[in-house]
Amino acid sequence: MFKKIGVWVMSAALVFTAGCQPLGGLDMNQAIENELKTNSYEASLSMVLQYDVGDTSALSESEKERVAFWNGFQLNVSSLKVNRKEQTMSAKGSLTAAKLNIPFAVSMDKDAAVLTVEGANKPIVIADWRTNELTGLSHELTMYDDYWFYRLQRFLKEFHLVDQQEVTNKAIGLLAKNLPNAASLAVDKKTETIQGQTVSGHQLRFDVSGEQFASLFRSTFKNVALDDQGLRELAVVIYDKFHPELKELGFAEELFQDRQLGTEAVYTGAKAIALYLTSEMGGAWEQELLSQSKLKVDALVDDSKQIRQWNAEIAMQSPPGVEDGIRGGKLTVRMDRWNINGDVKPDMISAKDAIRYEDLSNEDNLRQVVQPDSAFFKLLKEQLRITEKYLYFYIWSESDLDGVPGAEAEGTEAYPAYPAYGYNAAYISGNSTAYVQGKELGEGLGYKVTWDAGTKTMTIASSQTEIVLQAGSATARVNGTDKSIGAPAVLKKDALYVPVRFVAEQLGAKIKTEGEESLYSIEIYKP
């Protein structure tokens, strides 16, 4: 994510506001072209997010928690090293959120991100950092959209950064060619000290807001819509780099089998988007969004036309009359850069003995890897709620459930179309006791489950809790003490079904029984 800051934040914003005309001796086209060709640099970075919060009484508890978490969020990076050619990056600094301050170091290559954090005993690996919930795509799956989600996830994993940079360069170049200068743009000569070095160049200052912002936006896309050559050149690059992935996603598959048809399809789609953003319909949301927005930038471009310093403030306000909830927000970003295109070697962190971020969702692992009294533990457990678990079991009639093939039928014609029904299944017994599979319940809540076929005994265990259940017995042993379950565990097709309320509550989970949904499913939640 840090690799993209230089290209997307600096170049795109400078292009959008500075336009393509030289001003005060500063040729921004050349500066932008240099930025897109930059292969390496070192930098310091800070980001601060602040909300304008009104009456929050109407917000849900989770919404209030999110506001408290992000309001005042700060990221301070004292050492950022980027090598785009080698597709590597490292950063060292601290993160402040929800009144917690957390020092960290991170390194990334094209395959993985490795993180060390104060309070963690081991490095943490985020293997697919482009599609991980911490750094990129986050998505809650349902049985209806998981097919498209996995196609999109596969596409992102195969989205090579080198190819992405080429498409980015072409897109920004198209914008640069078609943008007018902002009326508030000013350029002065300036000398600044960066990392102990005296830097001379031009200071670029502008402050764009309200109607001027919306007007610039609309003028830009009008020019882009009329730039057939630029759109076609962009379409060719997109097709050549990504047509297998676009075809894989299922977007007009037959078009992407032919280069001429494929580029025409990309060109037509890009032109349609530009025309829409220029139209009255597109202008409506543009007016509503951008008329309440403000962008203020102060940047230093040195004499060799390299962006060396960057101060930006992006603010948005809700339309007049909105007094409740979040009424607006402001993001402030500052970056100083040096050693541009020099011999930059990011500080790569070894993944030896590291743990995957996903594995920290198991509370046993979390407590073993992260010190429970640390700010990082509080961030993961209380703010990000990484150990939080939601389970759904679909309620069948007991007779229907008895007719579902067992695990031995998986992969055969007898196996159900939605095999999850065969596993995440629940039923209500004649004495009104709700049953679910003990293995699915225990493992779903993050516990280790073992089965002794000889004694027909199941053990659900963590470092703090152990529950032993036996088929046909209405008594369970919990941490060495016998407790009445209220109804016996039942063995069906080699799967032990257990009374859900008793077992879930012993494991620290809660059962949802309210509402119409409880007629069809049992929802289990563990904080």
Q: Decide which of 274, 293, 317 is a domain's last residue.
A: 317
* pLDDT tens sequence across 222-231: 888 888 888 8
CA–CA dist 366, 355 (Å, integer) = 10
Asked if 44 and 77 count as a contact pair (C-beta separation under 8 A), the reply is yes
In a domain, 6, yes or no: yes
Q: Are residues 427 and 304 in the same domain?
A: no
The mean pLDDT value for 181-189 works out to 69
Q: Which residue has the higher pLDDT, 287 or 424?
A: 424
Q: What is the pLDDT of residue 399?
A: 76
Tell me the range of 31-45, 180-194, 419-433 where mean pLDDT is highest: 31-45
Question: What φ, ψ does residue 46 adopt, rounded to 5°?
Answer: -140, 140
In a domain, 216, yes or no: yes
Res. 141 pLDDT band, cuts 50 70 90: very low
Q: What is the pLDDT of residue 87?
A: 86
In a domain, 87, yes or no: no
Separation in Å, CA 481 to CA 98, 324, 468, 499: 40, 52, 10, 18
Q: What is the pLDDT of residue 473?
A: 96
Count of structural domains within the chain: 2
Q: What is the pLDDT of residue 184?
A: 59
Q: What is the pLDDT of residue 286?
A: 57
Q: What is the pLDDT of residue 244?
A: 65
Q: What is the pLDDT of residue 295?
A: 82
Q: Are residues 396 and 313 in the same domain?
A: no
Q: Are residues 312 and 393 in the same domain?
A: no
Res. 498 pLDDT band, cuts 50 70 90: very high
Q: Are residues 283 and 395 in the same domain?
A: no
Query: Taking 90 as the threshold, does the pLDDT of residue 16 lie above it?
Result: no
CATH number at 474 reads 3.30.457.10
Q: Are residues 286 and 395 in the same domain?
A: no
Q: Decide which of 267, 291, 317 is a domain's last residue.
A: 317
Res. 71 pLDDT band, cuts 50 70 90: confident
Q: Are residues 313 and 395 in the same domain?
A: no
Q: What is the pLDDT of residue 372?
A: 94
Q: Which residue has the higher pLDDT, 492 or 250?
A: 492
In a domain, 426, yes or no: yes
Q: Are residues 277 and 402 in the same domain?
A: no
Q: What is the pLDDT of residue 10?
A: 47
Separation in Å, CA 225 to CA 12, 276, 402: 18, 9, 62
Q: Are residues 428 and 291 in the same domain?
A: no
Q: Decide which of 259, 285, 317 is a domain's last residue.
A: 317
Q: What is the pLDDT of residue 368?
A: 92
Q: Are residues 397 and 287 in the same domain?
A: no
Query: Taking 50 as the threshold, does the pLDDT of residue 284 lie above it?
Result: yes
Q: What is the pLDDT of residue 129?
A: 45
Which domain range does residue 5 map to? 1-39+162-317
* pLDDT tens sequence across 328-348: 889 999 999 999 999 999 999
Q: What is the pLDDT of residue 371?
A: 96
Separation in Å, CA 335 to CA 76, 296, 309: 10, 14, 6
In a domain, 113, yes or no: no
Tell me how crowded residue 276 is: count the other CB atoms within 10 A of its CB.
Answer: 13
Query: Taking 60 as the threshold, does the pLDDT of residue 305 lie above it?
Result: yes
DSSP letters spanning 249-261: TTSSTTGGGSHHH
Considering only 51-65, 197-211, 386-400, which range has the smallest mean pLDDT? 51-65
Query: Taking 60 as the threshold, does the pLDDT of residue 500 lie above it?
Result: yes
In a domain, 127, yes or no: no
What is the percent of the chain with per-residue pLDDT over 90, rounded to a whole number? 34
In a domain, 431, yes or no: yes
Q: Which residue has the higher pLDDT, 14 or 345?
A: 345
Q: What is the pLDDT of residue 143?
A: 37
Tell me the range of 58-72, 105-119, 170-184, 321-335 where mean pLDDT is highest: 105-119
Laid out side by side, the sheet with 293-302 consists of: 186-194, 197-209, 293-302, 307-317, 326-338, 40-53, 73-83, 88-97, 100-108, 113-117, 124-126, 355-356
Average pLDDT, the chain: 78
Query: Taking 60 as the threshold, does the pLDDT of residue 425 lie above it?
Result: yes
Q: What is the pLDDT of residue 421?
A: 42
Query: Taking 50 as the threshold, does the pLDDT of residue 5 lie above it?
Result: no
Q: What is the pLDDT of residue 17?
A: 45
The mean pLDDT value for 20-40 works out to 70
Asked if 476 and 491 count as a contact pair (C-beta separation under 8 A), the reply is no
In a domain, 487, yes or no: yes
Q: Are residues 395 and 290 in the same domain?
A: no
Query: Taking 60 as the threshold, does the pLDDT of residue 42 lie above it?
Result: yes
Q: Are residues 313 and 394 in the same domain?
A: no
Q: What is the pLDDT of residue 467?
A: 96
Q: Are residues 181 and 299 in the same domain?
A: yes
Q: What is the pLDDT of residue 112?
A: 84
